[in-house]
A and B are shown apart, each in its own frame.
Chain A
Amino acid sequence: MSDWEPKIVTFLCNWCSYGGADLAGVSRLQYPPNIRVIRVPCTGRMSPKFILAAFRHGADGVWVSGCHPGDCHYIAGNYYARRKFALLNNMIEYIGIEPGRLHFSWVSSAEATKFQEVVTKVTESVKALGPAQHYIKTEAKVA
């Protein structure tokens, strides 16, 4: 079990967080390789369906990162997203997915070091919880 590595599905907004991740890479900052990045135009594009789909496919953790409030490329996308995330975060915990599997952050395109810090924190948090156990759909469990 000690050599198990979590798979963390990561949604990064194109303008800020994805840029920040790029900058971290270009700057040769070392960070854990467990994230699987999906680029979205804006965190406002995020739907709970995406996050649930990630957990259903067996993701051990899910992380969504976007522009700081006030800095959204589309002006207010992340403001709307913030409200949705608050509700979703509570709801995911409510149905029994351990707190520490779903993470959110604001990382701007210049914050390469913050990206490195957050990805390390998220990976540690998910690794400590072990492999995902619940709400995974592999094969339909029916007659």
Chain B
Amino acid sequence: MIDYVEKIREAARRLLSEGKVDVFIGFRKGTVPMMSEPALISDVSQVDDLWWDSNCGINLANYITKRTDRVGIVAKGCDSRNIVTHIVENQIKKEQLHIVGVPCRGMIDRRRIGSSVEGEILEVTEDASLVTVKSSNGQKAYDRNEFLQDNCSICIHRNPVIYDELVADPVPEQENVDRYEDIRKIEAMDPASKHEFFTKLIEPCIRCYACRNACPQCYCPTCFVDESTPQWVGKSLDPTDTMTFHFLRAYHLAGRCTDCGACERACPVSIKVRTFTKKLEKDALELFGWETGMSIDNRPPLDVYRPDDPNDFIK
């Protein structure tokens, strides 16, 4: 997706010089391998700072909530669905946005590449199909499709659903994707095994809240974690508190999460936090036929009801 860079720069140049937007939000190239930095530019002279590659996994929709200016923003498929959700949730108006849509071929998982490479990674370059890694032990090229982020490998909405312009032709969507294989495996466990599984999953958690803060949908002025009257969850590393945090955070994302993977990407101790949110995504789909962020005309699933909603579990 390195070929998108010029198109993105051209769009930013045009939008800023024509005064169509006050600011443009995109990415800068990272200062370490396989990273990128979200950047806001307000002047045409900064346009050449903009960059795009397979390391732009952070969700830029995180930066537009409650903005009052006119914003140009780069959005891949998942990001665009978060923008739709922001519009529906009154965090920003459609009229304020000029969305430069990016048909995405998936982001690379820097941790999986790190685990596959001996020695320290010094530089990573890419082209349409390969990721070339230069390490202290030599150089090797990998098929990028083997090293996509977990959420990207099961993505079924690579193309933006809302945009003002696209930087390229839409890419073919993946078909016959089983999005919930891993969730079903957990559902099939007995309660004791489930408890053990989750205890182990969150054991490394250091409560840095990178997952929550990287998520575009977590924008509450006061997060439940910071509520003190009453205090729903303690601030220490107590395992029950940590579990409560992840559980309630995922629950607050029910019907709002687009599985963009920013949370997993942000976690400094590599916890697969999507194990929680994907269960709610599965239930929202199976119970209410809901897919997040597909249209600004759809009310969120917990904002509506039907007389024939699932009722069997209620006595």
Contact = CB atoms under 8 A, between A and B. Distances in A.
Contact present between A and B (CB < 8 A):
yes
A118 B279 CA distance: 29
Interface stretch (A7-15, A32-40, A135-143): A135-143
A121 B303 CA distance: 32
B240 A91 contact: no
B71 to A, nearest CB: 32
Interface string A65-91: 000011000001001101111111111
A134 B315 contact: no
Main secondary structure of the interface of B (DSSP, over half): helix
A97 interface: yes
A95 B283 CA distance: 14
Contacts of B186: 94
Interface string B229-272: 01010101111110110011011001000000000000000000
B224 interface: yes
A95 B195 contact: yes
Contact of A52 (B234, B247, B280): B247
A121 B315 CA distance: 10
A27 B146 CA distance: 68
Contacts of B234: 137, 140
17 contacts: A52-B244, A52-B247, A56-B240, A69-B311, A82-B310, A86-B283, A86-B310, A86-B313, A87-B287, A96-B193, A97-B195, A104-B315, A106-B315, A140-B241, A141-B238, A141-B239, A142-B238
Interface of B: 186-187, 191-198, 224, 230, 232, 234, 236-241, 243-244, 247-248, 250-251, 254, 279-280, 283-284, 287-288, 301-303, 305, 307, 309-311, 313-315
Given A52-B247, A69-B311, A106-B315, 8 more contacts: A82-B309, A93-B191, A95-B194, A97-B195, A134-B195, A136-B240, A140-B238, A142-B237
Interface of A: 48-49, 52-53, 56, 69-70, 76, 79-80, 82-91, 93-99, 103-106, 118, 121, 133-137, 140-142
